[in-house]
Amino acid sequence: MSQGTTAVTLVPALVGLWLAWLSYGDRRTRNVPAWATALPLAVLGLLRVVVVPPDGVVVPGGAAVGFALLMLLLSDTPSAIFPAGAAAFCAGLSGEQAQVLVGSWIAALVLVDLNIWGAGDGKVLAVLTALYPDVRVLVAMGIALLAGGVVTLLRHRPRIGERRTFPAIPWLAVGTMLYLVLVAVSNQRSAISFGLPASSNQLPASNIQHSLPSARTSDFRLWTWDYFQGGSH
C-alpha cells in the first residue's frame, strides 16, 4: 500500500477517533485538554511548512503556514498582527490550499479573541484545515455549525444566572465527517495531500490535481448536482 493510499484511509479513522474523544469532553465539561489540541496542531503545522506544504510548494505555501504558526504563538500579544499579515500575503501568492488554511486560522484566532469560541475550538478548526485545506470542508463545517447554533437556541432556556454555551467541537466533527462522506460517495479525492513530496518548485499538475480540486470555475464543482453524481472531469 502506497504512502498516499495509507494516508487517505488511515488518517480519517484516526481523525474520527480524536474528534469523538474531544467531542465527548466538550459536551460534558465544555473543556478539552490543551495538549490534545496543541500537540496535533504543532505537528501538522511543522509538516505543512516543510514536508507537505500547501499547494505542493515550500515558498510561498510553506512560508504562509510558518507565519501563521508564528501568529498563533504570538496570539496573546498585539504583535500577532505582523505574522498574520505576512501569512495572508504569502497565501495570496500561493494557491487555494494555503489560502483556505491561513484564512481559517486567522478566522479561528479572531473568534477566540472575541470570546465567541474557546481556545480549544479554534485549535481544532486549525488542525482540521491543516489536514484538509479545502473550501468544501469549510462549507461542510459552516453548515454543521449553523445547525448546531439552531439546536442550541432551541434547547431549554437556562435558569437565571446560567449561561447558554455552544459546544463547537462536536459540530466541527459533524462537518468534517460530512465532508469525508460526501467526498467518498462522490468518488472524489479529499485535499489531505499527504504523500506528496515537498519541493521549492511547483509540483507536476498531475500530482496536484489528485490532492485539490481545480480552482477554475469549469472544474471546481462545489457539491453541485454534477459533483454529487461524481461526474467525469
Listing DSSP states for 97-127 in one string gives: HHHHHHHHHHHHHHHHHTTSS-HHHHHHHHH
The mean per-residue pLDDT over the stretch 1-22 comes to 76
Question: How sure is the predictor about 149, in pLDDT bands with cuts at 50, 70 and 90?
Answer: confident
DSSP string, the chain: --HHHHHHHHHHHHHHHHHHHHHHHHHHHS---HHHHHHHHHHHHHIIIIIS-GGG-IIIIIHHHHHHHHHHHTTTSGGGHHHHHHHHHHHHHS-HHHHHHHHHHHHHHHHHHTTSS-HHHHHHHHHHHHH---HHHHHHHHHHHHHHHHHHHHSPPPPTT------HHHHHHHHHHHHHHHHHHTT---S--TTPPP-SSPPPHHHHTTTS--SSTTT---S-HHHHTT---
Residue 18, Cβ neighbours under 10 Å: how many? 17
Position 160 pLDDT exceeds 70:
no
Read off the C-alpha cell for 61: 505555501
Q: What is the mean pLDDT of the chain?
A: 79
What per-residue confidence (pLDDT) applies to 151? 85
pLDDT above 90 as % of the chain: 52
Least confident of 107-111, 132-136, 169-173, 194-198: 194-198
> Per-domain residue ranges for the chain?
3-228
Q: Residue 221: which pLDDT band, with cuts at 50, 70 and 90? A: very low
Ramachandran angles phi, psi of 40, nearest 5°: -60, -35
Distance CA 125, CA 231 (A): 30
Summarize pLDDT for 43-83 with one digit per residue, the tens: 999 999 999 999 888 999 999 999 999 999 999 899 999 99
The span from the CA of 59 to the CA of 160, in Å, is 54
pLDDT at 6 over 70: no
Please name the residues in contact with 124: beta carbons below 8 A apart, sequence gap of 6 or more. 19, 22, 37, 168, 169, 172
Residue 154 confidence (pLDDT): 80
pTM: 0.77
Model confidence over 182-220: pLDDT tens digits?
A: 888 877 666 665 444 434 334 333 333 334 343 333 343
Q: Which amino acid is at 129?
A: T
Written as nine digits, the cell of 18 is: 480524536
Residues 101-111 have a mean pLDDT of 95
CB hemisphere CA count around 62 (13 angstroms) = 18
